[in-house]
Amino acid sequence: MKPTVPCPGNPKRCRVYSIVKERNAMCLAIPGIIESIDEHRSAEVSILGIKREVALDLVPDAQVGDYILVHAGFGIEVIDEQSAQETIDLIKEFPELAGIEEAV
């Protein structure tokens, strides 16, 4: 197993990703906002502007407009807007983690 490098900034945000020495990233969870929910509790979630289908089985109280942490296609935790935005801003500082060409 590769050793991890401490995450910069607020340690609370480190739950989002882990950077290894070779600068490979492993995403643990990323915030998104719920835009719609269907009758099967499957949601359309916007993550960095990209729409994804996410299962809400693990966050039964999540509603349209809530921010959630998404991992492997599942919402795993409802979070507040400030935490979500801080994490998104941090990810944008490392465009290679988000798969974007340059920080937005």
Q: In what order do the strands lie in the sheet with 4-5?
A: 4-5, 17-20, 25-27
* CB burial string 64-79: b at 16+ within 10 A, e below: eebbbbbeeeebbbbb
- Give per-residue pLDDT as tens, 65-81: 999 999 999 999 999 99
Which pTM value belongs to this model? 0.69
For the chain, domain boundaries: 4-98
Tens-digit pLDDT profile for the chain (104 aa)?
333 444 444 444 444 444 333 445 555 789 999 999 999 999 999 998 999 999 999 999 999 999 999 999 999 999 999 999 998 888 888 766 656 555 44
Domain 4-98 architecture: Roll (2.30)
Angle made by CA atoms 42, 14, 86, in degrees to the nearest 5:
70
pLDDT value at position 80?
96
pLDDT value at position 75?
96
